[in-house]
């Protein structure tokens, strides 16, 4: 582990999505190492008061809020507190801070499609990117990875599962599983709050029940995705692009304790895994300091307290979203875009109380069935497919409500 007291200037960090759970965990790790890291920019969607408190605590040079009215409110709060942080507004400002020459590291933690443009901007600018935004790879995997290579960016996964895979692969892994002796990936999943619940009993699930994850503290959208296992499906697509592993060599394994975060199988019979407490500060610290190691604030894992580890096969009938994600990955091109867009609409409508829990996978399946698969040659193509899938999903929601 690296001791405190670096002779190099602190690395300047941009946190896209600073008010979410990943943002909070990142700032916790950063605050433990003020000699190594400083905060260059923080961004948020609408939690202005929370962002103001973070600016007072971490003194970033910039704070970004997309909506101009919210940005003006933030300016007033910071001026009243005599905080020198400059406030920027608009979606373009997210891209500006992500590719700013002064920025060294970009934590991409904006949930949903809104995180794609600034993350792509960071990739093209050759930044060290800590990727917690699934949509960059789910929606635009080929385009994004091409931007990473073209811009000379360093991409490090933050999802606990993908970070575990990264740590379990050879240090010189270049995206060629055969050359590295990699047989496949075992992607672990907790199973969410409804792992043992019969499908017929899921009809009356409330948003509060769906957001009550047994192991992880997460935002509401990702918590619902965990409950439907769509989150794991999106992670399958993510793993494919991150590690160049085909769908048939990515297996989901239910592991309720969330102690083993994922595993890599090798052709010689070896299986390497990363274990730890279910705390996002561990993968954040690993990626932030890579290839070094720093303290994250997470206690060491006590195997005697864990005592036993359990594994189950996923139930594709109870959780159709997982199978739909595999289908989208195999179809390729715009299919994952339709999957993600339909899911975002359905989850939002469920959280608003307009549809039931079981309607989520129904809406996603119908959109994928009706949407023709199209080529994605540019970001405009990605957003056109995304918009079309969202419109179709909204129409299907309205049909279900009638």
CATH class of 173-278+303-401: mainly alpha
Query: What pLDDT does 402 receive?
Result: 60
Per-residue pLDDT of 142-165, as tens digits, reads 999 999 999 999 999 999 999 999
Distance CA 152, CA 154 (A): 7
pLDDT at 197 over 70: yes
pLDDT at 27 over 80: yes
Averaged pLDDT score across all residues of the chain? 93
Tell me the domain boundaries of the chain.
Answer: 11-157, 173-278+303-401
pLDDT at 397 over 90: yes
Instruction: Compute the Cα dihedral for 100, 104, 108, 110 and give only its sign.
Output: negative
Asked whether 232 and 317 are in contact (CB, 8 A), the reply is: no
pLDDT band, very low/low/confident/very high, at 114 (cuts 50, 70, 90): confident
pLDDT at 21 over 60: yes
Query: What pLDDT does 112 receive?
Result: 78
Query: What pLDDT does 4 receive?
Result: 45
CATH class of 11-157: alpha beta
Structure tokens at 226: 């965990």
Structure tokens at 309: 């580890």
For range 314-322, the mean pLDDT? 94
Asked whether 401 and 355 are in contact (CB, 8 A), the reply is: yes
The pairing of strands 271-275 and 260-266 is antiparallel
pLDDT band, very low/low/confident/very high, at 219 (cuts 50, 70, 90): confident
Lowest mean pLDDT among 113-127, 134-148, 218-232, 388-402: 218-232
pLDDT at 7 over 80: no
Query: What pLDDT does 134 receive?
Result: 84
Query: What pLDDT does 3 receive?
Result: 43
Whole-model pTM: value is 0.90
Which stretches of 158-268 are assigned E, i.e. beta strand? Answer: 182-189, 250-254, 260-266
3-state secondary structure of 275: strand
Distance CA 31, CA 13 (A): 12
Per-residue pLDDT of 83-102, as tens digits, reads 999 999 999 999 999 999 99
Q: For the purposes of burial, counting CB atoms within 10 Å of the CB of 62, is it exposed (0-12), middle (13-18) or buried (19 or more)?
A: buried
Distance CA 163, CA 157 (A): 5
Distance CA 84, CA 66 (A): 19
pLDDT at 357 over 90: yes
Asked whether 345 and 338 are in contact (CB, 8 A), the reply is: no
């Amino acid at each position: 582990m690296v001791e405190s007291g670096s002779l190099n200037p602190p690395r300047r960090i941009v946190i896209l999505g600073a008010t979410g759970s990943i943002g909070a965990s990142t700032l916790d790790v950063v605050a433990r190492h003020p000699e190594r890291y400083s905060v260059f920019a923080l961004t948020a969607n609408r939690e202005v008061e929370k962002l103001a408190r973070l600016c007072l605590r971490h003194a970033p040079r910039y704070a970004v809020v997309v909506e101009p009215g919210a940005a003006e409110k933030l300016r007033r709060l910071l001026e009243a507190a005599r905080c020198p942080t400059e406030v920027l507004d608009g979606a373009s400002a997210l891209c500006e801070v992500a590719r700013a020459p002064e920025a060294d590291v970009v934590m991409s933690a904006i949930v949903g499609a809104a995180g794609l443009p600034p993350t792509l901007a960071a990739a093209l600018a050759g930044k060290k990117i800590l990727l917690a935004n699934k949509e960059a790879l789910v929606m635009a995997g080929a385009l994004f990875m091409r931007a990473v290579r073209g811009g000379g960016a360093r991409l490090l996964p933050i999802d606990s599962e993908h970070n575990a895979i990264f740590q379990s692969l050879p240090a010189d892994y270049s995206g060629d599983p055969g050359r590295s002796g990699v047989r496949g990936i075992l992607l672990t999943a907790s199973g969410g709050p409804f792992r043992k619940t019969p499908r017929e009993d899921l009809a009356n699930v409330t948003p509060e029940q769906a957001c009550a994850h047994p192991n992880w503290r997460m935002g509401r959208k990702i918590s619902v995705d965990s409950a439907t296992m769509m989150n794991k499906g999106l992670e399958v697509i993510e793993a494919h692009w991150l590690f160049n592993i085909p769908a048939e060599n990515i297996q989901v394994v239910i592991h309720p304790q969330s102690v083993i975060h994922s595993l890599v199988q090798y052709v010689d019979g070896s299986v390497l895994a990363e274990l730890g407490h279910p705390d996002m500060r561990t993968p954040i610290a690993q990626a932030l300091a890579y290839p070094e190691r720093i303290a994250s604030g997470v206690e060491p894992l006590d195997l005697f307290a864990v005592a036993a580890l359990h594994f189950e096969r996923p139930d594709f009938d109870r959780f159709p979203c997982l199978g739909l994600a595999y289908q989208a990955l195999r179809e390729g091109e715009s299919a994952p875009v339709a999957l993600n867009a339909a899911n975002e609409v359905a989850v939002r409508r469920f959280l608003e109380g307009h549809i039931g829990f079981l309607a989520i996978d129904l809406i996603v399946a119908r959109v994928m069935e009706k949407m023709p698969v199209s080529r994605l040659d540019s970001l405009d193509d990605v957003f056109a497919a995304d918009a079309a899938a969202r419109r179709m999903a909204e129409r299907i929601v309205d049909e279900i409500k009638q």
